[in-house]
Structure 1
C-alpha cells in the first residue's frame, strides 16, 4: 500500500472546490478540504467491524509530519486491540477530571455555587475573585487539591501576610471553605486550612471612621448643605444621613425603586449585602431632596447618575467630598450608619430591633425566625421621620462656616 503520498507543496496547491473533497496520504490518513478552504487531517480505520474516523488536527496548525506521527500512534493502538477514538475520549475525560480536581477547578465550582445560591452579590463575587486570583490561584491553582498540605498553604498565606494580615486571614477562610467543598464532593479527605485558624497575626483593624458627637454631626451637615459640589453629588451627600444605607446601595439607587407618593424606597435583594430585599421609609426631608434632583436625573436609570451616561456616581465620589470638606481621617461615607445606630439608640431611645432592621442587619424574632422586609414598617416610618427631624435640629444649632473648605468644589 502506497503511503506518504502528500507533500507541503501538494497540500498548498489543493484549492477549495464546490463540494467537500479529500486527498489521501495513505495508510488511512487523508486531508479533507472544505469549500471555504479549511483543511482537516482525518484518519479512517475499522474497529470491531465498524468504520470509524479520527480527527488529527487542522493544516497548517498540525503539520504534515505531526499528522503522520499521530497516524502512527493510532495504528499502534489498533495493533494492540485498542480503539484510538475511545482512547482519546478516555484521555480527555482524565484531563478534565484532573482539572476539576485541582485547587483552581474546585475553587471555580465553589464560587459558582456561591453565585447560583445567591449567597454572593455581584460586588462580593468581584472582590472574592480578586482575592482568589491574586492570593491563592497563582500558587495553588494547578495543584491537585487532595495533595495540598497545611505547610504549603501556610507558605502561600505568608506572602500576603507581609502586606496585610487581615487579607491573609480572609484568604485562609476562603481556602477553608474551598477545602470543605472539596471534601463534600469527594475530592479531598481533609482540610489543611483548619490548623491555621488563629495562627495568622492580624493587626487590630480600625473601625470605619465616624463622628459620633451630636454637635460635630450638626457641623458636618451644615458643611454639606453649604458646599458647591455637583448637583447629583450634593443630593446624594444630603440624602445619605437620612437613609443610612450602605454607600453602594445609595449610589446604585434607581428611580424605578422609589415611590415618592408612598415615600418608600424598595431595594431588591440582589443589591443587598444580605441578599434580602430591603425597604427604606423616606422622611419628608428625603422626599424633598429626591424631588429636587428628579428634574435632572428623573429620565435616567440611576438617581445619582455620574459623569458617564448610564452609570451612577463612582464609589469614591462621596468620600472625596467629605475629604474636601475637611473630614479626611475623621469620617467616611459608611460612617453615617454608625452615627445613626449610636444616636438613635443613645439619644432618641429608639427600639434597637427597629434600628438594626433599618440597617439591614439580620434580625430575628423570639422564635429565631428572620423578620421580613416590611416587619415593623409603621414603627420604622416614624423612626425615620424622627431621625430626619433630629438631624434638622442639629443643623440649626450653628452657622454654616464652621468647617473649612465648605464652599470648595467637589
Structure 2
C-alpha cells in the first residue's frame, strides 16, 4: 500500500482523466491534488494548515503548469508555511495583486502618464518629439516590461541601437527622457530607486559642436539666389528665407501660427508655451518684423492664410516637417553642409562683428537667456527699438548679399 505522502500521479494518469458531471480530485500526496472540472479544466491545488486552520491555494492549470513544477511549488509553499508561517492563500493574493499592478505599470503606461503631465510645460514640438521617439526607439524594447523590473542593462539595449547608427546626440536626449520617466515612477512609489546612473561608460558621449552654418555673406547671397530657383513648395521656400531673416529657433518658426502675427504693427508674438526659454520668461517674446519679412509673409498668406499654421504640408493641415526644411537647405546650398539652426549662429556672428549694436540687444533678438542669474533678475529690458533696427538692418544685408552689391555700412538713427 502506498504511503500517504507518496507521489501518486503521473502524466499518463492526468491525461487519461476525463471530466464528469461533478468536479472531482486526483490526489498526488503531501497535500497536492488535481481538481478535474466538468468543463475539462485540470487545476493543481495545495491543501495545508496554518495555526490549525486549513488552507487551500490554486497553483496553476495543467498542462501549462507541469506536474514536476507543481510539485516543486508545493514543496516551496509547505516550507514557507512550516518554517516562516506564511499564509499561502494570502501570498497568492499578493502575487495576483502584484501582477495586476505590474500590468498597469509597464514602462509604456508610466511614460504615457508622464507625457500627459509634461504636456503642460513642454513645448508642443518637444512633446511630440519625445512621443515619436519612444514609439520608434524605446517601447519596442522596454515598453511592455513592468517598470519595477527594468534595469540599466535593459535600457542600455535600446540606447545601443541608436548609438550603433551614429545618433549620439539623439541617444543622449532619449536617455535623459527615459531617466525622467523613472524619476516620475519614483515619485509615485512604483520603484524604489532610479536604475539609470549618472554616467554609463558603455555609451559613447556626444561631443557637441557648433551647428553647421553659412561662413560668409557671399554664401548667404548664393543661397538666396538659388532659393529663387527652388523646385519645392512655396511654403518650404518661404520658411527657408524667413529662418535666415528671423534667426529664431527652427521649431518655433516652423510651427508658427498666423494668429501670432500682427502685420500691421510689424510684430510676431511667440507664446510662452512655445518658447524654449519660457521657464525664465514672464511674458511672451516678440520678434520685430522688417519690411521684407512683412512682404514675404503677405505673399505666403495667399497660400496658407486659410490654415492655422504658416508652413503646412501639401497633404496635411499640420506644420511642414523639419526634415522637409533640412532637405530644402541641402537642395539650395551645396557648397558645404548647413542646418536651419545654423542661421542663428550666422546672424549672431554678423551682428556682433558689425559693431553696430549692443550685445545685450543681439542676445535679446535671439531670445538668449542671461547666463548671469543676478542680471537676469534685475535686467528686464526688452531693447524693442534696437531690435527693430537689427531686424531691418539684417534684412537689408541679406538683400545686398543676394543682389551681389557692395555691403553699405548701416548707420543707427
CA-atom RMSD in angstroms: 4.1
The one-character-per-residue Cα deviations of 1:357-402 (angstroms, maximum 9, x if unpaired) are 3323333666254699982222212221222222233334359xxx
What is the CA distance between 1:109 and its match in structure 2? 3.0
For residue 103 of structure 2, what is the aligned residue in structure 1? 99
Paired residues for 1:290-369 under 5 Å: 290-308=297-315, 310-327=317-334, 329-363=336-370, 367=374, 369=376
CA–CA separation in structure 2 for the residues paired with 1:231 and 1:362? 33
1:21-63 deviation digits (Å, cap 9, x = unpaired): xxxxxx9xxxxxxxxxxxxxxxxxxxxxxxxxxxxxxxxxxxx
- Please list every run of 5 or more consecutive structure 1 residues that lacks an aligned counterpart in the other structure: 1-26, 28-63, 71-78, 82-88, 400-410
Number of equivalent positions: 326
Name the residue aligned to 1:378.
385
Quickly say closer, same or farther: Cα 1:235–1:184, change in 2 above 3 A: closer
Aligned-partner Cα distance in 2 for 1:222–1:183:
55
SS at match of 1:327: coil
Partner Cα separation in structure 2 for residue 131 and residue 111 of structure 1:
12
For the pair 1:111 / 2:115, whether they are aligned, the reply is: yes
> Are 1:217 and 2:223 counterparts?
no
Distance of aligned partners of 1:386 and 1:398 in 2 relative to their CA distance in 1, 3 Å threshold = closer
Q: Which has the higher contact order (CA 8 A, sep 6+)?
A: 1
Aligned to 1:288: 295
**TM-score computed with the length of structure 2 as normaliser:** 0.64
Instruction: Tell me whether 1:260 sits opposite 2:263 in the alignment.
Output: yes
Cα distance change on mapping 1:339 and 1:149 into 2, 3 Å: same
On the 8 A contact 2:125/2:251 being kept in 1, the answer is no
Q: Which of 273, 276, 286 matches 1:279?
A: 286
**Superposition deviation, residue 204 in structure 1:** 4.0
Give the deviation of 1:283 after TM superposition. 0.9
What's the CA shift for 1:211?
1.0
Structure 2: segments with no counterpart, 5+ residues: 1-21, 23-37, 44-53, 57-92, 407-413
The 3-state SS of whatever aligns with 1:196 is coil
Check conservation: 2:268, 2:286, Cα contact below 8 A. yes
TM-score (norm 1): 0.65
1:205 deviates by 5.4
Which of 140, 165, 169 lines up with 1:163 in the alignment? Answer: 165
1:242 aligns with 2:249: no
Distance 1:372 1:327, change over 3 A: farther
SS at match of 2:194: coil
What's the counterpart of residue 74 of structure 2?
Answer: none
Cα distance, 1:201 vs. partner? 1.2
What SS does the corresponding residue of 1:367 show, helix, strand or coil? helix
